Each structure stands twice: as structure tokens, then as C-alpha cells.
Chain A
Amino acid sequence: MKILIASGFMTTAISVSGLTKAFGRTVALNGLNMRVAAGEVHGFLGPNGAGKTTTIRVLLGLLRADRGEATVLGADPWADAVALHRRLAYVPGDVNLWPNLTGGEAIDLLGRLRGGLNQQRRAALIDRFDLDPTKKGRAYSKGNRQKVALVAALASDVEILLLDEPTAGLDPLMEAVFQDVIRAAKADGRTVLLSSHILAQVEKLCDTISIIRLGTIVQSGTLTELRHLTSTSVEAVTVRPAVDLGDLPGVHRLQIEGTTVRFAVDGAHLDGAIRVLSGFELRALTCQPPTLEELMLRHYGDELTANGITVNDETSESAISETSESDTATSAATSAATRGDVDGESGDPR
């Protein structure tokens, strides 16, 4: 409910409409629309090259959009870049530090150029992230460079945090610290735009999600809303074999093995399917909501077939069945590969 209130009534921190940006012939952003409400943690999902970094760089005024409008905290990021930068902090996906400056110096430098650091928070963050601030920039590993940028960003008293895959080099312990720190930032009322590959991280942290594909947002909303748009996997054991399910609307990929039945059902038809199922006397019932991974694959499935055909229901469902059969723990990459195999063999869903 809280989420609905957030997206419904709170003010807008970032709004983007019809944003287009091309680099030569490559169209990086193609009429992108997005809205991030103030105070929310907004997940920004999409594979490499989808346009996440370009979007963030436009929001920072580092790139100038060809067409469309971007507003951050009510200001134009290109025209009012400097004034705006005092109110936001940015963590790039690939942090590059000065080889001769120590991590501590880089943190202070970035903080002071932004207009000041909260010293207490700086010390606390360095401690929590277990960062040695006396090392020179060239001596840090990728993860440690990211920590430097994270501390510099999070120790500033800013309203918006723009984080571009900020934890790609962090270990699981530090990932947990990161999640804590982002929750604290949210509790302080800050807005966070978090671009990420790590779906578990987004599921845990984000109130709302935008999925970007080929420079356009293809889906946006709360995780609950997005899940409703996709099918739920159902596995049931009934006393009598459930033979009539195939005719029901919204039910796909029905498999019946004796008294065990497996199928996927669209969110809107879940209720009807379960009613019919209970007519066969239910013994056991497992429902699995679609994971974020399945949501992603639904939008990106076609890229894996490498023939450019728009995703259809059959293929997207085969993806879902693959992931749910392997107990949902499969990584996006694995299931993607598996699904690619299925298609490669014959194109018929098993």
C-alpha cells in the first residue's frame, strides 16, 4: 500500500519524456519516458547497451539530449547542471580514480567540490565498507574504487543518488552493507535511481522498477504491478486427474502426469484456474510468482533467438517454465542459455 501511495501522490524527483539520443548512427535512447517519485528507490533494469548509462549521463547534464525533455528536481539538467549537481550525487559504473591521490583524498575532493561532506557519515561509511582511505588510487581493486565513489556519494547531504551499477565489484558482505545503507538513505527521505544487473538486489531494495530495452522503457511500475502482467507457475496434485484445464482462458503449457498437473496461468485468470482445479480435489498446491528474472526475460527473450523476431507468448513461456523448473534459483544467464537451447533444437516448447 505504501508503494501505491508513493507512486500516486508524492512529488516527482525525476521525469523524462520522449528522450532521444544518438551517437552517430547508433540510437542509444529512443523516445524514453520515465518518472521517479521523490523518496522512492527506483530500479533501472536492462542489459548492457540498453541505454541505462546514457540516460543517467543525460540526467547529469554530461550529455545533451537530441530530443525530449528531462527534469531533475524541477530543473533542466543541461542548463542548470552545476546548481543541480549540488543536490545530487553520482556513482559511475566504472569508477576511475587519480593514481596519485589516496582514496580519502578523492572522497574529500568530490565531496567538497559538491559543497561539503558530512564528516561523521564519512567516517561511519569508511568503517562499514571496510575501506583503507590511505591507499593511492592506482593501488585499489575495482571493488575498492567503487567503495570510494560510494562513500563520497553517500556521505554527501544530497536529495538524489544516481547509482550506475554501483556494486558490480563488491563481495556479498559488502553487498549487504550497501543494501543497508541504501535503506537508510531512503529512510532519510532521499530519492535513489539504481541501475543494476543484480535482480535480487533490485527486488530487495526497489519500490518501483523501470525496464529499459533498446533505449525505450518497456515496463514500469511496482514489482507487484509488474508481476500481475506475467503468468504464475502452478503445480498441483489432485485426487482425480485434472483433464479439463486446457480449455480454460489464460492457461498455458499444461502438463499432466497422472495426478500431478503443471501449468502457467496469467495473473488475471489465476482465480478461475484455481476454482476449476479445486473441483478435482486438491492434495497439494504450489504457486510461484514470476521472478524479476522472468519479467526481464519476457522483454528480452527475443534477443536471445538472434533472429530479431518480436517475443511471442510461446517463447516467453518456455523461458518461464525453464526457470521455475529449476527451482527459481537459476541465474538469468543460465536460464537464458537454456532457453536458447530449447529454441535452437526445434522451436517447439516441450
Chain B
Amino acid sequence: MTTAAAFPTGYDRATAPGDRIGALLAGTGTLIRFNLRRDRIRLPLWLAGITLTQVSGAASYPGIYPTAADRQSQAVVFGENPAMKAMTGPGYGLEDYTFGAMMSNEYLSMMVILGALMAVFMVVRHTRAEEETGRAELVRSSVVGRYAHLTAALTVTALASIMLGVLIAVGMGSLGIETVDWKGSCYFGAAYTVAALVFAAIAAVTVQITEYGRAASGIAGGLIGAAYVIRAIGDVAENGLSWLSPIGWVQASGPYVLDRAWPLLLGLAVAVVLVACGYALNARRDLGAGLRVGRGGAATASRSLGTPLGFAWRLQRSSVLWWSLVMVLAGLSYGAAVDVMQSYEDNEMIQKMVESIGGASLTEAWISMVIALLAIVCTVFAVIAALRPSREENAGRAESVLATGLSRTRWLACHLGIAMAGGALLLLLAGLGLGGGAAVISGDSELFWNVLGASVAYAPALWLTAAVAVAAYGLLPRATGLAWAVLGYAVFIVYFGGLLQLPAWTLNLSPYHHVPMMPVADFEPLPLVILAVIAAGLVAVGLVGFRRRDLRGA
């Protein structure tokens, strides 16, 4: 607290109040240009990614719901199924479910999260992350004021948020879809902007609290999640709880249905208050310090940390736990939406997709497709976990442990074990969530076991993809991106393989295509055994290759 006292006295000597503010903000303009330059690739990617997802999603709706009856049958599901309400929002305009109302209801709550994440990462990257690396110290030692970093970061983020809103508004408005009018599109874009601004302001506070950029992003990201959950509970219970959530506010503006401005102004007002808090806290702390002093940890290692597997587990543990939680929730939310498919019985496009899977009911076809997608998401974890040794090596931490009695093979195999077992665990959890949710909603308990089995059957394909990563890591560390290519190809095949009627050999290139699509198809062990054998071969190649190559330096 000495700093709090020292700061005003230091500046009291300044002659006029105008000079004081000028001194505190010195260099802000330069930093703004500098930040924009640093983000010259990242920011356009964020803006384009969010805008394209939103606008292309909206553009597909007239094809999926050609008639008013199609739309209204969808509205029935949203009105009756509390799980769908929890996922989307309060459901303005369900009684006359226009395309505009669909956008407001089905897109807004999820999509503004992306804009909020963009804003949080931007603020943290230009403030706390700069302090953590020590770069801010270098910059602040020149003619740069105390508030310059925060002001520049917030300015750039605000510009990005406004840009996002404009792009969304223009993109949506120019689609020319009936009821997706320009006025509503402006509110729709403004909702994006306000959500991003509120969470930018929250990040302006969290970066003052902790010493680490990752923790600041983590807290702000957790608050985004909390905002979503609070509005989910509030929307289902209809008890006004949603008014505590920034996501609830932007939804309350009801673009295309209500077109209300005041909930957005409420968000802006809260953002201003939070930014003021950020500045106040910024003034009370030293450069590089947090308000919360970092916790100390154990002075000695626990017994398990000294073993190779315990060590690998320690490094991957939190990742496994977070992914487990996410996969259960993802499975549950898809499972809870199982009855939505009933409304698509007459939908031509959906019928086409279902036909390509072949046989069985619409619901079963839909479930088997969701399982394939969830399996691919689980594989993302497996590949990240299998490439953890690569990150350890690049960071220069591998050489310390590999200069001890730990052999290369064992070190790599332990991380690999966690990737493979963890991936299978995630498949199980996703299956539990999806099967459980679907069984409860549909009242068909047999569905639970079918879904669980179908999900776990993807384990060999998951192992094979992770094994590609390991083989690349052992033989040619620069080529580890190959595993991501396999995964990207698999996504493409799952989505478009049937629709585009691609030749069989292109489908067969994806390991996921060989897994029987239960519950539609019957269980077949042979393809799974072959996938597992190939995976084992690739793992062996990776282990041998890694034993024979040079370790890269930091």
C-alpha cells in the first residue's frame, strides 16, 4: 500500500491537472498503433471467423426451413424443451417464429461468447501478458504514462468490438432474408459489440488482480462461462436471474423481435463502471505486481511426482479434467436436444444427410452423426496430449529430465499413455452424457447403452490419429501438423462425405469412416482391430524414431 501513497505524492508536484493526465497517458497513441500492428493478422482472423460463422449459418436457414410450418415446428421444441431453452435463450418471438426470431434465439447467446473471448484475449495480451514477460517494463521506462498500456489495450479492443458489430450488422442485413431486416441487424451487431465491450471491461479488472496473463484470461473466461450458466438458469426458471448476466442483457435487446436499446445501454454503463475500477486498481499497484500475491506451493514433491507416469500425469492432469467436464456437458446438451430432430421429419436437406448414413430412424441417424463429431472433438484432446512432449522439448524442459535416469522411450510412452487412455475416457464420458441425455428425453433406456457403445467404438480411430502425431514427432518433429490434417479431413468427410457423394476411396482415407456408425449400423470388430493395429505400428515407429534422433535445444 506504500505505492498507493507514493503515486499521488509523486504526481502532486505536477503543475496543472491537464499535465497530470497528459503525463499518465503519454505514449498511448504510439502504443495503439503498435498494438494494431501486432494484431494485424490475428484480429482480422478473429473478425472474419466470427462474422463468417454467423452470416453463413444465417444464410443456410432458408434452405433448412423453407416453410413457416417448418419454422413453427422448431419453435414448439424450443418452447417445450427446457434443455433447449437453457442452451439458447428466453425465446422471444416463438409464437411467430420468423427467421429473425430464429437468429435472435438460436445464435445470439452462443456467438457473442466468441466475441467476448476475442475481447478478453486482446486486453490480456496487451496488458498483463506484456508485464509478465517484462516487455512492459522496457516500454514504461521510456516516455510512457502509467495508464498508457491499459488505455491503448482498451482502445484497440473497443475498436475491434465495434468493427465486429458493424461487420455482423452489414453481413446479416445484406443477406436479404425475409424478416432479417436492417434495423434488427443493427441491434444484432450492437449486441455483439456490447457483449465484447463488457467482457473487455471485466478483463481490464482481472488483469489487475493476478500476476499472470493466463490466470487473468482464465478468470475472465470463467466469468463468461458463469454469465452463460446464469442466463441458462434464469431463462429456464423465468425468475429474472438472467438480468445478472451480460449475455442475458444482450439477449434482452431481442434483435429482429423486440429491437430494444436499453438493455444494451445497461451493458455499456456496467462496462464503463468496470473500466473505471480497472483504472483505479491499476493506480494502486506496482508494475508487474498483482493485487493478489501469488500463492506459494509445496516445498517438496509428492511421492507420485517422482515417478515417470506421475510426472506426466501432473503435467496433463488439469487438461484431462477440464476436457472431461466439457465432453460430459457437450454430450448432455446434444442428448437433451434429441427430440429436436422430430421436427425435421419432412426436411429435405436433412433427409438427404440421413439417407447417406443409410437406414434407421432420423433420430438414430442424427445420434450417430453427433457421436462421430464428438469423437473427433475427443481426438483433439488426444493429439494435444500426445504432442505434449513436443512442447516440453521446445520449451527446453525435456533435456533436464532426459538427462536423468528417465529413458526417452519411457518418458514419451507415459505421455502417450495419458493421451490414449484419456482420449478413450473422453469418448466414454461423451457417450455417457449423450446417451444419458437422449435416454431421459426420449424415454428409451436402450438408447443409453447403444450410444455408449457407439461412442467407445471410436477409440481405435482416435488412437490412430494420436499415433500419427507420435510417429511424426519421433521421425520428423516439424511434421506433427500431419495429425491435425488427418483430423481436419475426418471432419470434412463426416460433414460432406455423404452430401457430396464423394468416391469411396476418399471416404476410406479417414480413419473415422471405418468405425461402424452405431446405432444405425451393426457392430463390426474387424475394422476396429485393424485401426488399432495400425495405431500400434505408428506408435512403435514414433518411439523408435525418437530414441534415434537428436533432442532439439530450447
Footprint of B on A, CB under 8 Å?
53, 57, 60, 62-64, 81-82, 85-86, 88-90, 92, 94-98, 100-102, 104-115, 132-136, 138-139, 149
Contact = CB atoms under 8 A, between A and B. Distances in A.
Contacts of B306: 108-109, 111-113
24 contacts: A62-B403, A81-B407, A82-B405, A82-B406, A82-B407, A85-B405, A89-B403, A90-B399, A90-B403, A95-B400, A96-B400, A101-B314, A102-B296, A104-B298, A105-B297, A105-B305, A108-B300, A109-B311, A109-B401, A110-B404, A112-B307, A113-B311, A115-B405, A135-B296
Contacts of A60: 399, 403
B525 interface: no
B298 A102 contact: yes
Given A57-B399, A95-B400, A110-B404, A62 B550 contact: yes
Interface string B314-357: 11000000000000000000000000000000000000000000
Interface string B209-235: 001100000000000000000000000
Contacts of A96: 395-397, 400, 554
A113 B401 contact: yes
Nearest to A119: B300
Given A92-B399, A104-B299, 7 more contacts: A60-B403, A64-B549, A85-B403, A86-B405, A102-B297, A104-B300, A134-B297
A57, A81, A90, A109 — most chain B CB neighbours (10 Å): A109
Given A62-B550, A63-B550, A85 B404 contact: yes
Contacts of B403: 60, 62, 85, 88-90
A134 B396 contact: no
A114 B301 contact: no
B305 A108 contact: yes
Interface string B382-414: 000000000000011101111111111000000
B553 interface: yes
B551 interface: yes
B406 A113 contact: yes
Contact of A134 (B298, B301, B554): B298
B294 interface: yes
B297 to A, nearest CB: 4
A88 B403 CA distance: 8
A270 to B, nearest CB: 45
A134 B294 CA distance: 11
B308 interface: yes
A77 to B, nearest CB: 10
B153 to A, nearest CB: 22
A90 to B, nearest CB: 4
Contacts of B550: 62-64
Contacts of B302: 105
B192 to A, nearest CB: 34
Given A96-B395, A105-B297, A113 B212 contact: no
Nearest to A104: B299
Contact of B551 (A62, A86, A106, A108): A62
A111 B400 CA distance: 11
A115 B406 CA distance: 9
Minimum-distance CB pairs A-B, first 10:
A112-B306, A108-B301, A134-B296, A102-B297, A96-B396, A113-B404, A114-B404, A104-B299, A90-B403, A105-B301
Contacts of B315: 98, 100
